[in-house]
Amino acid sequence: MKRAMIIINPSSGKEDALSYTEQAAELLKEHDYTVEVRETKKEFDATTYCIEACEEKYDLVVSAGGDGTLHETINGFMSSTHKPKLAVIPLGTVNDFARALHIPLQPEKAIQSLQSSTTRMADLGKVYDQLFVNVVAAGRLASSLSEVPSKEKSKLGFFAYVKEGFKTITGDAASTIHIKYDDQSWEGSALLFIAALTNSVGGFEQLAPSAEIDDGYLHCFIIQDTNLVNTAAVGTSLLTGNLENSKHVHAFKAKHLSISAEAPLSTNIDGETGISLPVTIDILPSFIEVLVPETA
């Protein structure tokens, strides 16, 4: 029989998380899987469980939680020669990876997708010894978004990020950064730097409309230091999927880049506080195989 491991963050999806896990386990058993359920209790548990699934040659790993749980899970694939297929049951606030792969955001529908026979290869990114599945951002705006309280995210959802972001850009938010990418470079004052793997970042599904999950590129945007009126114009470009054409944005694609800053500056990796600059970022093309709906 095939073997599946469900890695569940019981604090995601409110009180329904464990119920969703039971539904997923039953469906997988009906499709000839033996199922192991692992609940996360502390940081990095999901990574540990995924490493175990790789070492024991499981066929499928199911990440049931938000983008943070998914980020920890995919880091279990880092050094593994055997990589199980990955499935996602989105239970978080934003769920960018699920959006990009057209995995239903309603958990019940996502669970039904576990019986799909369709898969898609997906790129991952690498920051030093850490993998990421969605985005790396840098700048004071990125740092502030990492600090949005869980209660605010639960109460306001995506708008919690909008609220915090607006508070930051009305202050002194710009930083001088230096970026080298492939055979080019950029230097200047910026509000935010983004390196995205998918079209959906922070719930904006058209931030990088040309980005594909398996195109082998980091899709990068530097939002330059502007006044509040011009920043609002950038926001309009973001909402309309035209960010790369804004005169206040420097957009490029790269396979490798390094970024540093003149003042201390931390990163935001997949929505959580990451390491401080300087960092190097690389693309790992078609690194994992993801179970997607038949209609995706």
Segment 55-67, tens digit of pLDDT: 999 999 999 999 9
Q: What's the CATH number for 2-115?
A: 3.40.50.10330
Sign of the dihedral through C-alpha 173, 264, 131, 185: positive
**Could you please report the per-residue DSSP string of 241-274?**
T-GGG-TTEEEEEESEEEEEESS--EEEETTEEE
Q: What's the CATH number for 135-285?
A: 2.60.200.40
Mean pLDDT of 221-228: 74
Return the SS3 of 100. Answer: helix
Segment 126-148, tens digit of pLDDT: 999 999 999 999 987 665 454 54
Domain ranges of the chain: 2-115, 135-285
Burial of 295 (0-12, 13-18, 19+ CB in 10 A): exposed
Both tokens assigned to 139: 């700048």
Q: Which of 64-68, 159-163, 172-176, 230-234 has the highest mean pLDDT?
A: 64-68
pLDDT score, position 172: 59
Rounded percentage of the chain residues whose pLDDT exceeds 90:
62
Q: CB-based contacts of 150: which residues, under 8 Å, 6+ apart?
A: none
> Of 21, 80, 20, 22, which Cα lies nearest the Cα of 49?
80
Rounded Cα distance, 103 and 118, in Å: 12
Could you list the active site residues?
272
Flag whether pLDDT at 117 surpasses 70.
yes
Dihedral, CA of residue 275, residue 219, residue 148 and residue 94, to nearest 10: -130
Rounded percentage of the chain residues whose pLDDT exceeds 70:
80
Measured between alpha carbons, how far apart are the two ends of the chain, in Å? Answer: 27
Rounded Cα distance, 88 and 76, in Å: 15
- 209 — phi, psi (to 5°)? -60, -25
Q: Residue 226: how many CB atoms within 10 A of its CB?
A: 20
Rounded Cα distance, 115 and 255, in Å: 34
Rounded Cα distance, 152 and 67, in Å: 16
